Amino acid sequence: MSAHGKLVYLIGAGPGDPGLITLKGTECLKKADVVVYDYLSNPRLLSHCRPDAEKIYVGKKGSQHTLEQEEINQLLVEKASAGKVVARLKGGDSFVFGRGGEEALALAEAGIPFEVVPGITAAVAAPAYAGIPVTHRDLTSTFALVTGHEDPTKEESAIDWAKIATGIGTIAFYMGVKNLPRIVERLIKHGRSPDTPAAVIRWGTMPRQQTVVGTLADIVKKVKQAGLTAPAITIVGEVVKLREQLNWFEARPLFGRKIVVTRSRAQASEFVEQLEALGAEAVEMPTIRIADPEDFGPLDKAIDNIESFHWIVFTSVNAVGRFVEQLLQRGRDIRDLKGIKICAIGAATADEVREYHLRVDLVPPKYVAESVVEALQQAGEIKGSRFLLPRADIARSLLPDEIHRLGGKAVEVDVYRTVLEEEADADVIQRLLEGDLDLVTFTSSSTVRNFAHMLGKERLAQIQSKTGFASIGPVTTQTAKELGIPIHIEASKHDIPGLVEAIKRFFSETSLSHG
């Protein structure tokens, strides 16, 4: 599958959950020089692309087209003709109401080679995430995909309603929210029982998925009451009843909760993954950024004399990667760490050390300096030993003090620096002001300070009644209080899993309704 330009991949991006693209789809994205993407394809998928790939948004939200179809066809032909590998990324499957057929025809006419990578279409994925299997041996043997977008003023329908209404078990209507009253009316008029179960699923497979269930008789009213709008898929048929037992996705503990993560992007992934695994929408708003230390000098000196140390104590996940990187930079590698013991503060830090195929000799049970020193003492003599502490510039110095008190030598070197993220995400701030986000999380004092700085006094005051605040531990909580930010949740175990646990408990105890 080597690509040398002049090729278009028509890729189905899947229904929204970024995990629901195919392996082949991601492989093709990696190869693309140009990516042309839509409203319904999750922008997070663009992270599979090369950083230097040209990314072109061609929109299409209902009738608001950024580019007309004809222009999109033209764009694909042009880019490919210029010798580029083009990835055309479309929501769901390109050939299911995706106008991928038209694009492929335009390419064929222009003599441009193309490949089609199918995707999971909304009519299968959204009901699956709503707990509705589209077929079931006892309930239906047929399943139809129908457009609900037909012009209602059209005299002659292209849809044979009489046959659809009674001849098919499960019917999925795409693009049918606006037309729902007419769809339901026609189904009933042509003989489908008003008691037939129906469901409308909006933003299926996404953390903001919303499902309304009823029957043909009342679904229109219920959808209106819920204020459900596009994009949504309508499923009609007996299979909808299975949702009562199979609704797994919306039943997860943090489903529908919108939680702001203020850590740096480099540090956020573990937290984001854990929140999402529980069903939350994790909204990243980095308040800090990891940067190089002001001066690599002390670190380099320590690396050059690495054999003089008895221990390396890693105090954070970031310190590990940064240290190893600089080790390589200095022309050395992990073989030069032979004989040196490694202590990791926190399970996540220990895991990161193991990523580099290094053994962790000690993970102290608690993170406070006294406890670390106690553990070090049990693992060997502190007196006369030399400890290297690669750390962030703002680390607190309790640990080296304790080591010195006991006759050891602690050498602290900066391996990274946390700096204020200058660019505040206007979109997230807007959502905070609108009260659209349920919780803001703080994982260190600097995240609190920078968050307060980013919002400014006035806006900070405005959002206080509109969102909750969670803190990883007492030190962070104290900083928040000093800045006038009320903390509603404090983790009793001061790491990411501990914070996630506290958030889960909080939401299971509150009866706050959410949509």
SS3 378: helix
Distance CA(425)–CA(451), nearest Å, equals 11
Residue 233 interacts with ligand SAH (CB under 6 A)?
yes
> Binding ligand SAH by CB under 6 A: which of 170, 205, 316, 418?
205
Find the helix or strand (DSSP H, E) in which 61 lies: strand 59-61
* Shortest distance, position 11 Cβ to ligand SAH, whole Å: 11
Torsions phi, psi for 235 (to 5 deg): -115, 125
Site for ligand SAH in 133-192 (CB under 6 A): 174-175
Are 206 and 17 in contact by the 8 Å Cβ rule? The answer is: yes
Per DSSP, 485 falls in state P
Torsions phi, psi for 463 (to 5 deg): -85, -10
Show the site string, 463-492: x = touches ligand SAH by CB under 6 A, - = not.
------------------------------
Torsions phi, psi for 199 (to 5 deg): -140, 145
Whose Cβ is closer to ligand SAH: residue 96's or residue 168's? 96
Structure-derived torsion over alpha carbons of residues 365, 368, 371, 374, reported in degrees to the nearest 10: 130
Whose Cβ is closer to ligand SAH: residue 131's or residue 408's? 131
Whose Cβ is closer to ligand SAH: residue 96's or residue 388's? 96
Whose Cβ is closer to ligand SAH: residue 38's or residue 421's? 38
Concerning whether 30 is annotated as a catalytic residue, the answer is no
Concerning whether 60 is annotated as a catalytic residue, the answer is yes
Site for ligand SAH in 77-116 (CB under 6 A): 90-93, 96-98
Residue 118 interacts with ligand SAH (CB under 6 A)?
no
Whose Cβ is closer to ligand SAH: residue 174's or residue 314's? 174
Residue 204 interacts with ligand SAH (CB under 6 A)?
yes
Using CB under 6 A, count the residues that bind ligand SAH. Answer: 23
Whose Cβ is closer to ligand SAH: residue 121's or residue 326's? 121
Helix/strand/coil (H/E/C) assignment for every residue in 402-463: HHHHCCCEEEEEEEEEEEECCCCCHHHHHHHHCCCCCEEEECCHHHHHHHHHHHHHHHHHHH
Show the site string, 344-373: x = touches ligand SAH by CB under 6 A, - = not.
------------------------------
* Shortest distance, position 90 Cβ to ligand SAH, whole Å: 6
Helix/strand/coil (H/E/C) assignment for every residue in 298-340: HHHHHHHCHHHCCEEEECCHHHHHHHHHHHHHCCCCHHHHCCC
* Shortest distance, position 301 Cβ to ligand SAH, whole Å: 55
* Shortest distance, position 369 Cβ to ligand SAH, whole Å: 49
Q: What distances in angstroms separate CA 156 from CA 160, 389, 404, 451, one per listed residue?
A: 10, 77, 88, 58
Which of 79, 84, 93, 175 is flagged as catalytic? 175
* Shortest distance, position 209 Cβ to ligand SAH, whole Å: 7
Whose Cβ is closer to ligand SAH: residue 15's or residue 197's? 15
Concerning whether 175 is annotated as a catalytic residue, the answer is yes
Show the site string, 34-73: x = touches ligand SAH by CB under 6 A, - = not.
------x---------------------------------
Structure-derived torsion over alpha carbons of residues 439, 443, 448, 450, reported in degrees to the nearest 10: -110
Residue 249 interacts with ligand SAH (CB under 6 A)?
no
Whose Cβ is closer to ligand SAH: residue 97's or residue 114's? 97
Residue 16 interacts with ligand SAH (CB under 6 A)?
yes
* Shortest distance, position 309 Cβ to ligand SAH, whole Å: 54
Per DSSP, 89 falls in state E
Are 53 and 241 in contact by the 8 Å Cβ rule? The answer is: no
Per DSSP, 206 falls in state S
Residue with nearest beta carbon to ligand SAH: 92
Distance CA(136)–CA(214), nearest Å, equals 19
* Shortest distance, position 280 Cβ to ligand SAH, whole Å: 18
172 CA to centre of own chain: 28
Are 110 and 2 in contact by the 8 Å Cβ rule? The answer is: no
Find the helix or strand (DSSP H, E) in which 100 lies: helix 100-109
Are 410 and 399 in contact by the 8 Å Cβ rule? The answer is: yes
> Binding ligand SAH by CB under 6 A: which of 126, 288, 313, 369?
126
- Please identify, among the stretches 43-51, 183-191, 197-205, 458-466, the one whose residues bind ligand SAH according to the rule CB under 6 A: 197-205
Q: Kindly list the residues in this chain that would bind ligand SAH in the complex (CB under 6 A).
A: 15-16, 40, 90-93, 96-98, 121-122, 126, 174-175, 201, 203-205, 230-233
| Residues labelled as active-site residues | 38, 60, 175
